């Protein structure tokens, strides 16, 4: 599988989102997903301290076991675990890192990401604490998540000479959510920051499981959403776009799942498309998408169906 750069890290262009670990799937199925990923050439695993009620990191660490050095582990901090475990104050950054290292059973986190901005803590203070973790070797590279272009520029301006700065940003992006194409992706291109899209399959709409006018499949994630959110995700406009994308993909001999990955990987700023999986079969299907290279005409046709802002 091809790799791309996140700072000094080389990551597979298809990654595994670990938010299912410890939540939707247990220890045994987590191990199945992780081993299938490594066997398929996927080395990038993205987790967070809050995923699975803090169990995701534990499950991932155990599943990797002796194969830890084959993996690039990305984790996150800053979202609220409980009132005592949240935010981005320097003392908490270091505490959160130690907790994640312990849960993962490793001596370093390859990419440590601020999950969301902390309005109570100046970004310069957070960056200072993260730089200390890099200097100590506990973290190799640092990134952020849920940052817009202005926030990225502010953070870049606070990096001291010779200190670590954000090498990646992880935001919501897919063929049904392309707002970041307006400002964030251009910033990433200019600043050399890698972009990591989350929800790349649009809550499952781009897997081909959901069709306009058809019953929702039993057990699908979307069925567990609150009605208001489900209507935002699976509205008539989105379902019409999905039908057109399915038709386009099939005209090229591919699935809409292939298209969801290939369209994102056609963006040079995107380092890896991270998607969750609950079985080895899903992992292998995701890995197989990396073989489709879109032409300029393909990209233009997709943009006509799912316009950029």
**257, 285 Cβ separation under 8 angstroms:** yes
- Strand 14-17, strand 44-46: pairing: parallel
How far lies 228's CA from each of 132, 148, 206, 207, 235, in Å? 43, 25, 20, 22, 10
- With a CB cutoff of 8 Å and minimum separation 6, the contacts of 27 are 59, 62, 63
173 as an active site residue: the answer is: no
C-alpha angle 121-124-129 in degrees, rounded to nearest 5: 85
CA distance 261 to 89: 36
Q: Give me the helix-helix angle, 27-39 and 280-288, nearest 10°.
A: 30
CA distance 76 to 79: 8
Of 51, 92, 198, 210, catalytic: 51
Main-chain dihedrals φ then ψ at residue 182, nearest 5 degrees? -75, -50
Eight-class DSSP state of 166: E
**Cα Rg, the chain, nearest whole Å:** 19
Q: Look up residue 228 and give its two tokens.
A: 């208001």
Catalytic machinery residues: 51
């Amino acid at each position: 599988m091809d790799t791309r750069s996140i700072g000094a890290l080389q990551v597979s262009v298809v990654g595994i989102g670990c938010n299912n670990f410890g939540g939707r799937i247990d220890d045994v199925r987590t191990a199945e997903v992780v081993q299938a990923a490594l066997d398929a050439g996927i080395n990038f695993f993205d987790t967070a301290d809050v995923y699975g009620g803090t169990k995701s990191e534990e499950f991932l660490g155990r599943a990797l076991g002796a194969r830890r050095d084959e993996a690039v582990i990305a984790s996150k901090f800053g979202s609220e675990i409980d009132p005592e475990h949240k935010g981005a104050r320097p003392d908490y950054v270091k505490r959160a890192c130690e907790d994640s290292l312990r849960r993962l059973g490793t001596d370093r986190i390859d990419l440590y990401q601020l999950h969301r901005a902390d309005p109570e803590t100046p970004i310069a203070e957070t960056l200072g604490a993260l730089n200390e973790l890099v200097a100590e070797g506990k973290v190799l590279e640092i990134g952020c998540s849920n940052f817009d272009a202005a926030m990225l520029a502010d953070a870049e301006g606070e990096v001291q000479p010779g200190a670590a700065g954000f090498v990646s940003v992880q935001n919501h992006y897919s063929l049904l959510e392309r707002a970041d194409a307006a400002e964030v992706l251009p910033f990433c291109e200019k600043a050399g920051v890698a972009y990591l899209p989350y929800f790349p399959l649009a809550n499952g709409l781009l897997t081909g499981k959901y069709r306009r006018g058809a019953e929702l499949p039993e057990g699908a994630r979307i069925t567990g959403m609150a009605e208001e959110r489900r209507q935002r995700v699976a509205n008539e406009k989105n379902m019409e776009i999905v039908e057109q994308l399915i038709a386009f993909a099939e005209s090229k001999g591919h699935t809409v799942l292939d298209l969801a990955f290939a369209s994102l990987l056609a963006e040079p700023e995107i380092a890896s498309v991270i998607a969750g999986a609950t079985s080895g079969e899903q992992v292998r299907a995701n890995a197989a998408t990396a073989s489709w290279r879109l032409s300029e005409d393909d990209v233009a046709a997709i943009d006509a169906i799912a316009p950029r802002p």
